[in-house]
Amino acid sequence: MRRVCSLSQVAGVLAFALAPAAHAEPVTVRDAFDRSVTVRASPQRIVTIFASNTEMVAALGLADRIVGIEAFTRFPPEVLGKPLVGGRLGFSVDAVVARRPDLVVVTPSRQAANQLVDPMERLGIPIVVLLQRNVGEILSNIRLLAKLAGVPERGEALAARLQARLDTVERRVAGRATPSVVMITGRLGNGLMLVTRPGTYTGDALVRAGGRLAFDSGAIAQVSPEAIINADPDVLLFAGSDKDMKELIARPGWSGMRAVTSKRAHAVSRAELLIPGPRTIDGVEKLAALLHPAAAAR
């Protein structure tokens, strides 16, 4: 994708940026890269790169302000059909600029931050970089986005509601035995598998739901099927369809695992556990119900 902006596009962006502020005073925050990001007024044209950022902005009631998304965004329904600014092959500076944004929200995944931060800074377009390394950071990002958007009270209210649900889960699983868990999040063409590991929001979600990781793969998410079988977890989770999960555990070596013989192998939602946004709290609640069914009935 081209990264060079035409003069007409640049002129259009600058004219938009220099237009009189709609309302509010400038707001400054620090992002995940420890950059100082300032918006002169409440952004009305927001480009959200990655589904997680789109979902957070939409959950704040600001879906109507989103003017550009990336190709893998599938939720919420009201943002589908918005202009695309990137996809599997990368992110187009031209496409972003054409949307005349007054805020761009990005995450480092797939080199998005490397491709977009410098060009946006040169053009004077505010761009904020977010990371979601644990569930708490998702709530912090919601508050940060709400502050930038000029609706801080919405961010505080939404984060408080989500935290209250997490607190309820914590109370329900407190004092209960923590089953060992392996969560498979993907399968690679070379036969290796992606698993949840410590230091990630998915790993944090699993711990908050009352589980513990059956083994620590360190910084590497890719492990062999044999490593999973040898870990022999109490619970095996597969982020994907029930059909694919059943096909996997029917293979030689898998059927004898403790989680399989005890019928504690479950398919779980990719959308709720692999997209770090408000729906992650749905995922934590459902994980807790799978790991501690007696507690869920309370």
Same domain, yes or no: 35 and 116: yes
Looking at residue 63, which CATH number applies to its domain? 3.40.50.1980
In a domain, 150, yes or no: no
Percent of the chain with pLDDT over 70: 91
Distances in whole angstroms, Cα of residue 80 to Cα of each of 69, 244, 259, 269, 275: 9, 27, 38, 20, 16
Which residue's entry shows tokens 């300032």? 38
CB proximity list for 75: less than 8 A, separation 6 or greater: 51, 54, 55, 271, 275, 279
pTM, full prediction = 0.88
- Tell me if 93 sits within 8 A of 119, measured CB to CB: yes
pLDDT in tens, 160-197: 999 999 999 999 999 999 999 999 999 998 899 999 99
Number of domains in the chain: 2
Q: Has residue 291 been placed in a domain?
A: yes
* pLDDT at residue 271, as a whole number: 96
pLDDT tens profile 92-115: 899 999 999 999 999 988 788 889
In the beta sheet, which residues pair with residue 205? none
In a domain, 59, yes or no: yes
Same domain, 118 and 204: no
Residues 79 and 190 in one domain: no
Position 199 in a domain? yes
pLDDT at site 298: 56
pLDDT(241) > 70: yes
Say yes or no: 117 and 222 in one domain.
no
Provide the 3-class DSSP secondary structure of residue 268.
Answer: strand
**Whether residue 114 is found in the same domain as residue 200:** no
**Structural domain includes residue 153:** no
Q: Which of 81, 115, 131 is the last residue of a domain?
A: 131
With respect to residue 148, please indicate whether it lies within any of the assigned structural domains: no
Render pLDDT for 55-82 as a digit per residue (tens, 0 to 9): 999 999 999 999 999 999 999 999 999 9
Classify residue 22: in a domain, yes or no: yes
Q: Is residue 236 part of a domain?
A: yes
Residues 108 and 186 in one domain: no
What torsion do the CA atoms of 266, 270, 273, 279 make, to the nearest 10 degrees?
-120
Asked whether residue 110 falls in the same domain as residue 34, the answer is yes
23-40 tens-digit pLDDT: 468 999 999 999 999 999
Task: State whether 180 and 251 are in the same domain.
Answer: yes
pLDDT at 12 over 60: no
pLDDT tens-digit map of 125-162: 999 999 999 999 999 999 999 999 999 999 999 999 99
Domain coverage including residue 226: 173-296
193 with 124, same domain: the answer is no
pLDDT at 22: 43
* In a shared domain, residues 193 and 268: yes
Helix, strand, or coil here: 225?
Answer: helix
**Banded pLDDT at 226 (limits 50, 70, 90):** very high
Q: Span 209-235, mean pLDDT?
A: 90
Listed residues 100, 131, 162: the one ending a domain: 131
- 124 and 186 co-located in one domain: no
Q: Which of 79, 109, 131 is the last residue of a domain?
A: 131
Task: Of 265, 267, 213, give the one whose Cα is nearest residue 239.
Answer: 267
Query: 119 and 220 share a domain?
Result: no
Q: What angle do CA 208, 210, 216 make, to 5 degrees?
A: 80
